[in-house]
Amino acid sequence: MVVRARQTKSRPGTTLTPPTAVHGQPVAQSATHNLIQRARSDPHSLSPGELLQLQRVLGNQAATRLLLANGHGAANDRGPKPAPTSPGAIQRKVVRGDLKNLGAGAAGQWHQGNDKFHVTVYGDDPKESGKRGFAFISDRWTSEFHVTDHRPTTPFGRRFYNIDDGSPVVAADQGQVGKPIDDLAEAFMLAKVNALKHYSDIEAAELQRQWEEAEKQQGSERVETMRKVIISQAAEQVGKEIDWTKPQSYALIGRVTTALRELKIELEPKEREWLKTEFDACLNRLNEEAVKERQAKEEEERLRQEALIVPKEVTPKLVPSSVQPQEDKAKQLAPSSSSMRPLVVMILVMLLAVFVGIWRMLR
């Protein structure tokens, strides 16, 4: 259950006046003691004005510790409670986007027929959080607004107000501040602010964490979807180089943009440069993979061609070692046919001579 500070019906310019003397005796110390006792026993019963007085008396840090120790400003009654984000945890805030129809731009303006006399609402500023006493979580939140009067007929004046209860931040007054400024602040609180949900710093920090986690998830899914589209388009450009300064690249960007729009993704201006960088990286990667694939196919073809022209190797006949030396010795002892040929001729000549001699003797 969300605990909210009780809103008062007092005007934004109204401040809590200090107690006066009774029968000549000062009662300020007694009133402060009673306020501290109520903060300890039942902090939810304190009005916004009393919270501010407690903050002035004790200081931001001490008032915050006192209230948090007794359950004021807890995000809910279940589970562990996150630590406070700043000493000013008693200052509550609203979601900046909940303030509708306040005008365009970083600051929204609200007025009643005269834009020279208007209310301005900014998102929280880290430079101002310490000076104003509110916790900076992000500029999605707003903790204060200011009323500016720069009509030609009136002196310039500006006053800041806490958006939780409309109490003025008097220390930040600029120029001449009067009742008309407080009246416009009160009208703004009634018309735009009082009906909104008010968050303590602790509640706001937890909600901000949930938002950031959801955005991180959505951002990851968005980038992954964009990369898939880029890869599909880059695959059609393999072997080419993209010159983003040439008109031909415009058509490529148009195809990517159209494909993303069909997936409900609109490119932001800063994402266009990212898209070009990502496209180049993807195309370079695909080109490198294509070169490696081509080289692998060429090497495979070369090995196949070499396998076709190399003759088959003849396996030598194995001869037992015990037989091989004897065969070698027989080859050495056996005369070769070339060395036997003269001997045979000589024997034949001698036989012929003998035959001729015997033939002559018989005659």
Domain membership of residue 340 (yes or no) is no
Average pLDDT over every residue of 123-147: 91
For residue 252, is it within any domain?
yes
Q: What is the DSSP letter of 22?
A: B
The residue type of 186 is E
219 and 144 assigned to the same domain: no
Residue 359 has pLDDT above 70, yes or no: yes
Nearest CA among 34, 195, 55, 198 for reference residue 132? 55
131 domain-assigned? yes
Is there a single domain that holds both residue 194 and residue 116?
yes
Domain residues for the domain of 214 are 204-292
**In this structure, are 192 and 209 located in the same domain?**
no
Q: How many percent of the chain have pLDDT more than 90?
A: 22
Residue 345 lies in a domain: no
Question: For 287-338, what is each residue's pLDDT tens digit?
Answer: 888 888 889 999 988 888 888 876 655 556 555 555 555 656 556 655 566 6
Same-domain status, 158 and 170: yes
Average pLDDT on 44-52 reads 64
In terms of domains, do 236 and 144 share one? Answer: no
Listed residues 292, 321, 349: the one ending a domain: 292
The whole-model pTM stands at 0.45
- DSSP-assigned states of every residue in 86-136: STTTT--BEEGGGS-SS-SSSSEEEESS-TTEEEEE----HHHHHHHT---
As a whole number, the mean pLDDT across the chain is: 76
Question: Rounded mean pLDDT of 45-62?
Answer: 65
Q: Count of CB atoms within 10 A of residue 168's CB?
A: 23
Same domain, 157 and 174: yes
Instruction: At 268, list the tokens.
Output: 């932001």
Residues 244 and 288 in one domain: yes
Closest CA to 46 of 9, 84, 7: 7
Q: Which of 153-162, 164-173, 197-206, 322-331 has the lowest mean pLDDT?
A: 322-331
Q: How many CB atoms sit inside 10 A of residue 301's CB?
A: 10
Distance CA 112, CA 21 (A): 42
Do 103 and 193 sit in the same domain of this protein? Answer: yes
Which tens digit of pLDDT belongs to each residue from 207-219? 999 988 888 887 7
Total count of domains within the chain: 2
Residue 1 belongs to a domain: no
Q: Is residue 130 part of a domain?
A: yes
